[in-house]
Structure 1
Amino acid sequence: MTRTTVMKTAASLAAGLLLVSASPAVAQAKEALGPFGYGGVTLGMSAKTARATGKIVLKTNDGGCSGWDLKAHPTGENAVGMFISKKRGVAVIFAAKGVKTPQGIGLGSTTKQLKRAYPRLRTSASGYPYVSVEGNPKAYYSFLVSRGKVYEMALGLNTQDCVN
């Protein structure tokens, strides 16, 4: 082998290793819940615009708010992945399993982790923790906690009219 052949082979091998080692990191990158939306759907987006993304499916249409699922995260019976208000557009998006906020909070996070990630966490009149979304003054995160762990969380518009 000539020196040029060895150098070309080494360069090809290095490039291949770079591609192989970079692939898992890219595959592991996940979209966060918030600060403006999730799964290609944005808070405030009308039902018509949200439907046009092709990423959601209608589940219920009762009154002022309709219930939808992200096609990538179906919720099963008696649940929805988001509510869309006739007045406000996409009003609330619920976190699917494995989805986290930019601060790393997801289903299964502990109360201690929640408080550490969100030092300005407050408690609503109905008893659930919530916090303003960093980077989006029009939105909040709400959390339902049982036995010290988050079992449900959502990203919602401050002005949403679908859930309490």
Structure 2
Amino acid sequence: MKKTFAAVFAAGAVLVAGTPALAQSAQAPALGPYGYGAVKLGMSAKQAKATGKVVHKSGGGRDACSTWDLKSHPTGKDAGGLFLSKRRGVAVIFAGKGMKTPEGIGLGATMKQIKKAYPKVNTRTEGNPSVRVPGNSKAYYMFGVNKHGRLEELALALNNQDCVS
């Protein structure tokens, strides 16, 4: 059976018919180069809250950084999806399940896949591998790889972030 594809243009709108996957797929935002969807690195707490995409978890007051979650990717009780610095705004965004960089790297990727996507990745023996974010010289990706060589933690961070080590 032959499947067909049709597009109808009416008053500036596009209606797509054909395979269900084509008609229903929505492009998920990428982690990087400047943030995740509406949440951008460097945003103040007020700006981040105004997106409606984040929820405050802990910290603030005298703390240098506060912990937040992306509403679309909540974390556990003792974790955070993003860290907001009093001095620098949104400083670090951690990847949740299903989130990927524009180069297609997400949780579960292998070190081989990371090196292919980011040939300049720093794989120093101490600390986590990292690489400058393509298209944003003010940020880097940090890769937390487990003993099996799989990515179990991925973060997009400002070069001068002061929230996580």
The TM-score normalised by the length of structure 1 is: 0.85
The TM-score normalised by the length of structure 2 is: 0.84
In 2, distance between residues paired with 1:159 and 1:125? Answer: 22
* Aligned residues with identical type, % of pairs: 58
Task: Give how far 1:72 is off.
Answer: 1.1
Q: How does 1:52-131 map to 2 (within 5 A)?
A: 52-61=50-59, 63-123=63-123, 126-131=126-131
| Residue matched to 2:47 | 49
In 1, distance between residues paired with 2:28 and 2:139? Answer: 21
Paired residue for 1:36, among 34, 47, 53?
34
| Residue matched to 1:24 | 21
Task: Give the residue type in structure 2 aligned to 1:104.
Answer: G
In 1, distance between residues paired with 2:43 and 2:28? Answer: 22
**Structure of higher CA gyration radius:** 1
| Residue matched to 1:4 | none
| Residue matched to 1:6 | none
| Residue matched to 1:7 | none
Task: Give how far 1:132 is off.
Answer: 0.2
User: Do 1:83 and 1:90's aligned partners in 2 also have CA atoms closer than 8 Å?
Assistant: yes
User: Do 2:6 and 2:17's aligned partners in 1 also have CA atoms closer than 8 Å?
Assistant: no
User: Do 1:61 and 1:67's aligned partners in 2 also have CA atoms closer than 8 Å?
Assistant: yes
Stretches of structure 1 lacking an aligned partner (at least 5 in a row): 1-12
User: Do 2:107 and 2:153's aligned partners in 1 also have CA atoms closer than 8 Å?
Assistant: yes
Superposition misfits of 4+ residues, deviation over 4 angstroms: 13-16
CA RMSD of aligned residues (A): 2.0
User: How many aligned residue pairs are there?
Assistant: 151
User: Do 1:64 and 1:86's aligned partners in 2 also have CA atoms closer than 8 Å?
Assistant: yes
Please, which moves more after superposition, 119-128 or 94-103?
119-128
